[in-house]
Every structure is written in C-alpha cells, then in structure tokens.
A = this chain, B = another copy of it.
C-alpha cells in the first residue's frame, strides 16, 4: 500500500543534505511551511540554496533559517521588507548571495522545471537591469528575454488537506507557490493541516495531484 504520510516532521526532512537547493512555499506568511522550517533548522543542513518569493519575515520560518546561518544563496523577488532583518543583516555582511528575479518570472521558471520546458521567452524585465547579460529576441511585436527553469532537490510546502497518495488541497491565498514548487523538486514534502482518507478529496478540486508529492506530514491547524 502506498503511504506517503510520514509520522514526524523530523523524519520528513531527515535526508536533506548540505548544499541542497530547496523551494520553500509561501508568500510572506501565507503558505509558509513553518513547521517544516523549524524541523529543517533542528536538522541542521547548511550551505542551502533556497527559493521563495521573499527572504523571510520576522523571526520564524525562512527568516529563522537564515538567522541560523544555514542559507548560502537565496533566489527571490522581494527580499526587502519591514521585517526582513535576518536577511538584511546576512546580506549586508556578505554571508548570503542574492539572485533577484521578477515574481512572475520566478513562478514561470519553477513551473518550467516541473513541466520539462528547457527555457522560455518572457517579455518581463526586457530592457531592465534584471535582463542584463541575458539572451533577448523580438517575436512578433514584443521583445523577450530567455529564462531557464529552476529545478530543486526538495520543495517544502504548506497545504491544507492531504491523503496517503499525496493529493493536496490548499487554503485561499496560501496556495500561491505550492502547486508549482511541488512539481519542480525531486522530493516534495508537504505539511498539511489535516490528513484524510483516500477519496475524501473531490477529484475535481485536487490542486496538486499526488504524483508531485513524496511525503505528507500532518501538523494540525496551528503551524
């Protein structure tokens, strides 16, 4: 019997090696897999490359991972926020490499990795500093920049409900990067509020089919 539900957060993240590339779900706090982040901090993997829309908020989740000096590089669209002090400090100290990517290009690069697309032309950032050094092309009446996929070793995401086949649903705008990140990693680990029996998720409303998910861990409503 297939059973992707693992018993503990510790077990879920146990094999994450130093130097891994990790997609981390969430847009600010919404969808941030905080329980998995805490487990990753306890686990201690270092020299990580992390991909998230932001660079951590406050003292929890991704911010805490940066504070614990486990991150070598961050790929994100919007690092600077009022409460991104852990990132700001590490970045200004030169301890953290930053790759800044427009938000839609970030999403599409992740989606491309999951969909087996080798590269794509996007109009976003054409003529700007973020396209410097990149291949460009005029197609029809628009100018485009060539962008490449972001593949990862792991994706850590937060979903709402999950079953033993790894099917997931999300809750409102906490969905954000979860579904595309799930598709782009070799090993996707989802923390869920609730686990349900097979068949309890409406097949028309499953957002992430289990094919994209390797491990599901239940955290309850609080994490």
A30 interfacial contact with B, CB 8 Å = no
A121 to B120, CA, bound (A): 6
Residue among A118, A137, A148 having the largest count of chain B Cβ atoms under 10 Å: A118
Min CB gap A95→B, angstroms: 29
Question: Which chain B residue lies CB-closest to A206?
Answer: B205
What B residues does A148 contact at CB under 8 A? 139
Q: Are A142 and B118 in contact (CB under 8 A)?
A: yes
A116 interfacial contact with B, CB 8 Å = yes
Known A169-B204, A170-B204, A205-B202: A115·B108 in contact at CB below 8 Å: yes
Question: Which chain B residue lies CB-closest to A175?
Answer: B204
Question: Which chain B residue lies CB-closest to A121?
Answer: B118
Q: Which of B108, B118, B140, B204 contacts A144, CB < 8 Å?
A: B118
Q: Are B119 and A139 in contact (CB under 8 A)?
A: yes
Q: Are B120 and A120 in contact (CB under 8 A)?
A: yes
A interface residues, tally (CB under 8 Å): 26
Q: What string of 1s and 0s marks CB contacts (under 8 Å) between A127-155 and chain B?
A: 00000000001011010100010000000
Question: Which chain B residue lies CB-closest to A143?
Answer: B118
A204 to B112, CA, bound (A): 24
A211 interfacial contact with B, CB 8 Å = no
A196 interfacial contact with B, CB 8 Å = no
Min CB gap A139→B, angstroms: 4
A117 interfacial contact with B, CB 8 Å = yes
- A residues whose Cβ falls under 8 Å from a Cβ of B: 108, 112, 115-123, 137, 139-140, 142, 144, 148, 169-172, 202-205, 207
- Apart from A119-B121, A204-B205, what are 14 other A-B pairs with CB-CB below 8 Å? A112-B120, A117-B120, A117-B121, A117-B122, A118-B121, A118-B137, A118-B139, A119-B120, A170-B204, A171-B204, A172-B203, A172-B204, A202-B205, A205-B205
Top-6 shortest CB links A-B:
A118-B121, A205-B205, A118-B144, A118-B139, A120-B120, A119-B121
